[in-house]
Chains A and B, each alone.
Chain A
Amino acid sequence: MLKETLLLAKNIRTDGYDGSLEAYRRAGGYTALEKVMKSMTPDQVIEVVKASGLRGRGGAGFPTGMKWGFIPKDRKPTYMVCNADEAEPGTFKDHFLINNDPHLFLEGMILGSYAIGCNHGYIYIRGRSVRPAQRINEAIEYLYKAGLLGKNILGSGFSLDLTVHRGAGAYICGEETALLESLEGKRGQPRVKPPFPATHGYNACPTSVNNVETLACVPFIVKEGAEAFKKIGTPNNYGTRLVGISGHAAKPGIYEVAMGVSMKQIINDLGGGVRGGKKLKAVIPGGSSSNVLRPEEIDIPFDFDSVAKAGSMLGTAALMLFDEDTDIVELAYRTILFYNHESCGQCTPCREGTFWLRNLVRDFRENLGDSQKLERIGRVSQQMFGTSLCALNDAAAGPIKAFVTKYPEEFKKHFI
């Protein structure tokens, strides 16, 4: 029977823990910050994060230490931006952290800001996440009062202000360059890369954009050292993941597991399998942008590399289960409808391709499908893949391609 490995959710799983500054400090919070302020240079912080092998939890899995190391030392100001937009369908891990233990990621963010020499950080959160935004603002207020934010933190001479920025709720604003555009007050549209945000980010200054869960890992790494972090997980996939199980699961919710444990076990032991004793039909392992997996494909280690090897993506570790009654065509339609609606429209393949695919899949939904159309969905999604500026295009095309290649029989049911 698989058990949770508690690293980020340790406090949250403690009875009576309310996520206040007092409770967080009682549980050993902000000792990492004290340690750093007393005895570590920014470079040492970057080094320890590099050594821990921490990879970004927002979806792409880019090594965090390396990302911080890209920030030029000679250009000021630099910015630390926390991506709390959490727009990926199926994902709710960041809200879980923010609502229940906001200081964990805030401590990580202060450490990160220190590491890259940032004196003003931004937390970008979507406008409709009212409660989490309030929660962060309250936490920040307490931090100022406690002298953990503001000028001269803990007498170290390091100053940091944090601002919560509430976006207007576009999916694309979770993409880091679109997020920065939005943060600058412009229309949220991805930028041309290069230049990358590490050199030309917020207001064309060096900027590092990090996910909430990534930052939440940092206090542990700093406090306990890189080796302690590396004891959890598998090589190149260290640490834990907050797995958000949703869909037709018996026990949906957030579970923290060490990376590399069996995905099947996560589903069956933690998620309680499919509700109502039904059979599993499909699993989406990392949010709606990741390719669907058939039940026979899920007996794999749950980490970045293994899921990628299986032809999908760990992404945000949002496991979505679908039982035998699910209409895959309906699922595909909802998916493409979402991406069509959220496409910013600047690139041709994404703007026109999602529109076309939506129409094609809708035909199947209305029982107007035929083999030619099925083939066409496969061709268009295949060809448009990888031709756009940002990943939204691929996030739309990839899953649709996977639906039609893995579940052709489901589509055939909707032939004319």
Chain B
Amino acid sequence: MPTFYLDDKPVEFQEGQTILQAAMAAGTEIPHYCYHDALSVVATCRQCLVDITDLGNGKGLPKLATSCSTQAAAGMKVSSTNQKVRDGQNIINELLLVNHPLDCPICDQSGECDLQNYAFRYGTGHSEMAYEKRTYGWRDVGTFIMLERNRCIHCSRCERFSMEIEGHHDFGHFLRTHELTFDTYKDHQITHKFQGNLADLCPVGAITEREFRFKKRAWKLERTPSVCPGCSTGCNITVDHNDGKVERLKPRENKDVNQWWMCDEGRLTYRKANDKTLRLTEPLARVKGALVPAAWNALLEAVAGKVKDLSASGDQVVAVADLDSTLEELFLLKNLLAGAFGSGQFFAPHAPESAAPAGARFLETLITPDKTPNAQGAKLLGFQSEAGNKGMEKALGKAKVVFVLGAPEASPALLNAARKAELVVQVAAYRSEWFDMADVILPALTWTEKYGTWANKQRRVQALRQAVNGPGEARDPLRILPDLMRALGQEASFAPAPDVLDRLAKGEKKFAGVSWKVVGQQGFTLA
């Protein structure tokens, strides 16, 4: 690969790459606002100025050049740190602050604001501007976002996103000079499903999420890489949390899955993760028709005793799993059934998939009609999935013992069939329609509280990571299932998700080659 010299260090680049792109790929920071990998280059913020002392032909440029719009060339010598560049960066930063309200103390972006960061890193630290600042009136622009135009630095990322990525072009710029403003048309409110991305793109606090408004200072947030549970796309995200509470979900770049984006529906799934009203926090057992709290060990023994009494044969034991169960949990459930009962009757009810809109923009393909995160995984593990399937209804009708993992989607007919079983054991995080018929409820962790993997619509195995602790006595299903197995006389012990995944990769042909390491933070697509 050809090389150029950035601050006297050789940097490799690909033909057509700009100085900024090559520098970022090499891990050197050049401050910038208007440039974004996903958007066209406009070179208007002027923050990424560099000094090209040699174009590769012995001649330099007299003026500073924007690194975002200048292609790297072999032998080029570029400085991003000399005094000329420092002066350029300083004045741009100073000028950006000329009309900026500096309301960081009440700004949600504070702490993760490019303007703030660069002002500290590259600015002069003081301003000589002593005049009344330009201010704009308040505007209600979107159902999911807030616009505070006074903070705007006019990078035009929002407009380019609307035009180039989202397609409605309902964000644009109006007026000119220092009165230039980025806005929607008068009275137009943005209602599309990807508004949160505008807030992500905005390098300052001009566009912020309504949902996160005044909730938490950004520097208090811990960010745990994870996967969105909202649909079968499995957008890569970070779970931003503080004090055991999930505050928001933000997309995480993954070129093969969601690029930089995420839908607003997905962002709102954090609400359920924080839900307290439907959450199951202690083991429950049905005594004389009512569910009463019980101790974990006693309950597991009681389950084992009852199973023994029923002496159910293989075709009298059924497992029904929810499609937000992780691959590891499904694998253990399958083992439990096979090991303790020799049963192969495991189901994962699933609404029939309707096709995603064809020929749509990439962004629109992110929202799939299939609202489960691990349908492909369950299918690959052999879980039968057709909803309303007579086979499932029939099996449940004959079953003496039913294991329920999570809260599987179930038709009334299916629920009625399950009601007839002698023993229904549910391992779940939330109350659901199964609550009324379960004899034993074992409280489990939800997706923000545990490790595990899901396979998305592309059969890409992606990892969840624990962000917060579970409530009350809720336990990881990866612990509950082995405990159950042991109580039923099998040899089993708790193993963390990576170890279970290794066993799964050995045991299931379709998962050959998968390991926690190859899944990493970007996922691994199955053959």
Contact = CB atoms under 8 A, between A and B. Distances in A.
Interface of A: 170, 187, 192, 340-349, 351-356, 359, 376, 380, 383-384, 386-389
A352 B42 contact: no
B95, B131, B179 pick with most chain A CB within 10 angstroms: B95
Interface residues of B, number: 35
Contact of B46 (A342, A345, A349, A380): A349
Given A192-B41, A345-B176, A347-B45, 6 more contacts: A340-B177, A343-B178, A345-B173, A348-B44, A351-B95, A356-B131
A346 B45 CA distance: 8
B466 to A, nearest CB: 43
A356 B92 contact: no
A197 to B, nearest CB: 16
A356 B43 contact: no
Given A387-B46, A388-B46, A349 B95 contact: yes
B44 A347 contact: yes
Contact of B87 (A349, A353, A383): A383
Contacts of B131: 356, 359
B64 interface: yes
Contacts of B180: 344-346, 351
B6 to A, nearest CB: 20
Given A192-B42, A387-B88, A356 B95 contact: yes
A343 B153 CA distance: 15
Contact of B176 (A192, A343, A348, A376): A343
A356 B97 CA distance: 11
Contact of B98 (A170, A355, A383): A355
A356 B98 contact: yes
27 contacts: A170-B176, A340-B178, A343-B177, A345-B154, A346-B156, A347-B44, A347-B45, A347-B46, A348-B95, A349-B46, A349-B92, A351-B154, A351-B177, A351-B178, A352-B99, A353-B95, A354-B178, A355-B99, A355-B134, A356-B95, A356-B98, A359-B131, A380-B91, A383-B87, A387-B63, A387-B91, A388-B46
A345 B91 contact: no
Interface of B is mostly: loop
Contacts of A343: 176-178
Contacts of B175: 345
Interface of A is mostly: helix
B462 interface: no
Nearest to B49: A387
B90 interface: yes
A125 to B, nearest CB: 21
B345 interface: no
Interface string B131-158: 1001000000000000000000110100
Contacts of B96: 348, 352
A379 to B, nearest CB: 8
Nearest to B89: A387
Contacts of B156: 346
B129 interface: yes
A386 B45 contact: no
Given A356-B98, A384-B95, A348 B46 contact: yes
B325 interface: no
Interface string B81-111: 0000001101110011011000000000000
A343 B95 CA distance: 15
Nearest to A386: B63
B69 interface: yes
B82 to A, nearest CB: 15
A192 B45 CA distance: 12
B116 interface: no
B353 interface: no
Contacts of B69: 192
A376 B128 contact: yes
